[in-house]
């Protein structure tokens, strides 16, 4: 794939990893991902970020279509995570740039990752700006969105905002712009990316978007470090989507997620779902035998309720349930109604442990945890239907 022109003398020079299926801990589904780097040809030729180490030669090849790598004057490191800086040592060795710009925390991260002896690092902070000729680079620190070193670069002359991981999606495609791909799939991948990476930083997301809006930046192009780029009306679409994700307003949707050994907990899940649906909720039943914890979080982001079931196994939860709850806890979902259920044989600790885990995440628990000995009888399943109704009513009241 050759470089892609965004505007005159501004090009995408990144890489597409078609077969990526795991992205530092979560499943990327069948779509792979991209590592976006950008090159500006001006009086000072400037490269923004690099790619994973194994794509170094591909990056150099794309650059060579535009300029000799040695003609690059500046490198801007918006984010030091290895999928964006893995190629950096080799690029620095070949380019020998005049300056490498990064945030204050970026300098610390570069020194922690690499031997930067002799690197011409120049630290920039929010509000700092430099000229590269006909263009200006203005820097905005975006700490903890999603690493301490993260920053964005704004180019007012082209109305371009390079956002590093913010607004990204894991999509491997020959198309490079949002208006060239299916909108429903794009939205799904934005949800999945946000839910599995950015979610715990939602308060920071809101603050930074508000800061950008207060600065009155005119943005015609929004260029993330993963997935497709946004231009024209799609810029507003991406920003509004992030506002909605970050707000985490509860909706009339419930996720019932469970694992089961001999189908007893599965029967309870289906009964709970019946009760939830009777209150007008959209319900997603997710069996951890066949879905990944990343799939669960994709659904949880826009859900008002999360109901979790596990049979008791060795005095605790089944491993897949424990894994999912640990993963979810780290992502800090907010404004959720919770519920816990499951079967047991002789000890029955799992349901209590599930309830405690959900409560520890700040979820409201309008019903007591429910459990059944071995196999729930037909008449006993009515309790689980009623549990679903009660949770459904709480969601409707909360969602308004």
Helix (H, G, I), strand (E, B) or coil at 208: helix
Q: Is 146 an active-site residue? A: yes
Helix (H, G, I), strand (E, B) or coil at 145: coil
Helix (H, G, I), strand (E, B) or coil at 178: helix
Q: Which of 193, 180, 172 is nearest to 55 (CA)?
A: 172
> Considering Cα of 177, then 178, then 181, then 185, what sign does the dihedral take?
positive
Q: Is 193 an active-site residue? A: yes
Active-site residue, from 11, 79, 293, 313 = 79
Active-site residue, from 42, 49, 73, 81 = 81
Q: Which of 36, 44, 14 is nearest to 132 (CA)?
A: 44
Q: Distance between CA 341 and CA 256 in Å, rounded?
A: 10
Active-site residue, from 24, 115, 378, 379 = 24
Q: Is 24 an active-site residue? A: yes
Q: Distance between CA 12 and CA 229 in Å, rounded?
A: 9
Q: Is 81 an active-site residue? A: yes
Q: Distance between CA 214 and CA 99 in Å, rounded?
A: 30
Strand partners, 255: 284, 306
Place of tokens 């690499």: 114
Q: Distance between CA 3 and CA 27 in Å, rounded?
A: 28
Q: Distance between CA 49 and CA 76 in Å, rounded?
A: 6
Q: Is 79 an active-site residue? A: yes
Angle between helices 233-247 and 183-193 (to 10 degrees): 40
Active-site residue, from 11, 84, 146, 293 = 146
Active-site residue, from 42, 141, 165, 259 = 165
Q: Is 182 an active-site residue? A: no
Active-site residue, from 11, 84, 226, 293 = 226
Active-site residue, from 35, 193, 221, 344 = 193
Beta-sheet pairing, 10-12 with 4-7: antiparallel
Place of tokens 């670069």: 153
Active-site residue, from 73, 83, 225, 295 = 83
Catalytic residues: 24, 79, 81, 83, 146, 165, 193, 226
């Amino acid at each position: 794939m050759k470089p892609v022109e965004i505007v005159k003398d501004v090009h995408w020079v990144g890489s597409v990893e078609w077969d990526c299926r795991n992205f530092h801990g979560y499943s990327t589904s069948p779509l792979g991902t991209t590592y976006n780097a950008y090159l500006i040809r001006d009086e000072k030729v400037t490269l923004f970020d690099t790619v994973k180490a194994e794509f170094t030669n591909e990056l150099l090849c794309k650059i060579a279509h535009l300029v000799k790598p040695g003609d690059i004057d500046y490198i801007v490191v918006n984010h030091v995570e290895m999928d964006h800086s893995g190629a950096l040592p080799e690029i620095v060795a070949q380019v020998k740039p005049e300056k490498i710009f990064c945030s204050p925390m970026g300098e610390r991260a570069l020194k922690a990752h690499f031997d930067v002896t002799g690197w011409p690092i120049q630290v920039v902070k929010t509000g700092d700006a430099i000229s590269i000729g006909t263009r200006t680079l203005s820097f905005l620190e975006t700490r903890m969105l999603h690493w301490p070193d993260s920053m964005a670069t704004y180019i007012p002359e082209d109305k371009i905002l390079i956002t590093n991981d913010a607004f990204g999606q894991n999509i491997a495609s020959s198309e490079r712009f949002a208006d060239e791909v299916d909108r429903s799939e794009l939205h799904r991948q934005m949800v999945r990316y946000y839910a599995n990476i950015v979610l715990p930083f939602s308060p920071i997301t809101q603050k930074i978007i508000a800061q950008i809006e207060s600065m009155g930046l005119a943005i015609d192009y929004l260029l993330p470090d993963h997935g497709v780029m946004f231009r024209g009306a799609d810029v507003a679409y991406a920003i509004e989507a992030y506002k909605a994700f970050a707000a985490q307003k509860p909706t009339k949707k419930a996720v019932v997620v469970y694992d089961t050994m001999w189908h007893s907990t599965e029967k309870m899940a289906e009964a709970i779902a019946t009760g939830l649906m009777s209150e007008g909720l959209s319900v997603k039943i997710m069996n951890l035998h066949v879905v990944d914890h990343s799939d669960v979080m994709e659904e949880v982001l826009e859900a008002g309720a999360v109901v979790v079931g596990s049979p008791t196994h060795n005095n605790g939860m089944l491993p897949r349930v424990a894994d999912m709850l640990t993963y979810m806890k780290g992502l800090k979902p907010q404004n959720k109604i919770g519920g816990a259920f499951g079967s047991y044989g002789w000890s029955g600790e799992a349901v209590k442990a599930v309830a405690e885990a959900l409560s520890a995440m700040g979820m409201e628990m309008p019903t007591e945890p429910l459990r059944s000995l071995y196999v729930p009888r037909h008449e006993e399943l009515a309790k689980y239907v009623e549990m679903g109704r009660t949770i459904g009513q709480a969601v409707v009241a909360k969602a308004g």
